[in-house]
């Protein structure tokens, strides 16, 4: 199965555009397995998102430009930018505030809401320093269900990124597990899938039980989500939960 999700599937009228990827492939679930929701914010200017709660969400803050200061109910204060990612496991309850500095350079990135493997887990915040801003021509794993990655999801979920230069080709990474579902998202640039599906910025393709080829039309940045749709997850998270 290969299904394109075009950028008209996003909702929201402000600087944060919201994608519920399941709406493109299902009538009963707004997510796809553990992939609950993807936000693509673009802030041109400074702003503060005041202290607010998250419950039973696992959230990756993946910013490619700009700067955000994270402050939370555990007393942690940390800057997040293209050199540092954040993974917030909200669990049973967690509060945080975001102070966005987008005047000198607009803040743009993704906030990725992953469904947890179970309800009411302990909250935790993890930061990851990136040695290189981009991983060129090679998939870089950012998160997985195992302790081999700094970002360890409680569900059967994997997260990768890659920058593919214009004219270069790639395939999806192989995982030891079979029957997984892939969501390939274009953060920046454009690409052709299997020589016939064109993806532009903020577009994606859902792939299951298929081998695909990826060719970059221009320098293109990808984010890849992988989920086991048969694994145990909690679908009642505040933001990641099923909206249908």
Sort 10 into a burial class: Cβ within 10 Å, 0-12 / 13-18 / 19+: middle
Res. 12: pLDDT tops 90: no
- Is 73 inside a domain boundary? yes
Q: Residues 85-90: what's their mean pLDDT?
A: 95
- Is 232 inside a domain boundary? no
Task: Decide if 201 contacts 189 (C-beta within 8 A).
Answer: yes
Return the number of other C-beta atoms located less than 10 Å from residue 12's C-beta: 12
- Is 239 inside a domain boundary? no
- Is 33 inside a domain boundary? yes
- Is 57 inside a domain boundary? yes
Its domain, for residue 33, covers 2-227
Q: Residues 186-206: what's their mean pLDDT?
A: 97
244 band by pLDDT with thresholds 50, 70 and 90: confident
- Is 175 inside a domain boundary? yes
- Is 233 inside a domain boundary? no
Query: How far is CA 202 from its chain centroid?
Result: 12
17 band by pLDDT with thresholds 50, 70 and 90: very high
For residue 78, the model assigns a pLDDT of: 96
220 band by pLDDT with thresholds 50, 70 and 90: very high
What's the domain count of the chain?
Answer: 1
CATH of the domain at 83: 2.60.120.10
Read off the tokens for 9.
């599937």
- Is 62 inside a domain boundary? yes
- pLDDT one-digit tens code per residue, 162-173: 999 999 999 999
């Amino acid at each position: 199965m290969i299904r394109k999700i075009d950028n008209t599937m996003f909702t929201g009228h402000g600087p944060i555009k919201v994608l519920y990827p399941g709406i493109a492939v299902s009538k009963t679930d707004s997510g796809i397995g553990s992939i609950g929701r993807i936000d693509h914010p673009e802030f041109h200017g400074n702003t503060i998102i005041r202290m607010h709660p998250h419950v039973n969400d696992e959230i990756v803050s993946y910013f490619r430009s700009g700067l955000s200061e994270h402050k939370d109910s555990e007393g942690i204060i940390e800057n997040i930018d293209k050199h540092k990612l954040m993974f917030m496991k909200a669990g049973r309850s967690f509060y945080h505030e975001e102070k966005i500095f987008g005047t000198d350079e607009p803040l743009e990135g993704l906030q990725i809401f992953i469904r947890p493997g179970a309800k009411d887990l302990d909250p935790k915040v993890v930061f990851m320093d990136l040695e290189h801003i981009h991983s060129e021509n090679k998939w870089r794993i950012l998160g997985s269900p195992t302790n081999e990655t700094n970002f360890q999801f409680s569900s059967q979920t994997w997260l990768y990124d890659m920058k593919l230069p214009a004219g270069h080709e790639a395939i999806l990474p192989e995982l030891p597990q079979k029957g997984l579902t892939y969501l390939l998202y274009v953060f920046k640039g454009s690409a052709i899938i299997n020589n016939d599906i064109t993806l532009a910025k903020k577009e994606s393709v859902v792939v299951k039980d298929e081998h695909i080829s990826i060719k970059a039309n221009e320098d293109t940045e990808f984010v890849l989500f992988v989920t086991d749709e048969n694994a145990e997850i909690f679908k009642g998270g505040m933001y990641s939960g099923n909206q249908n």
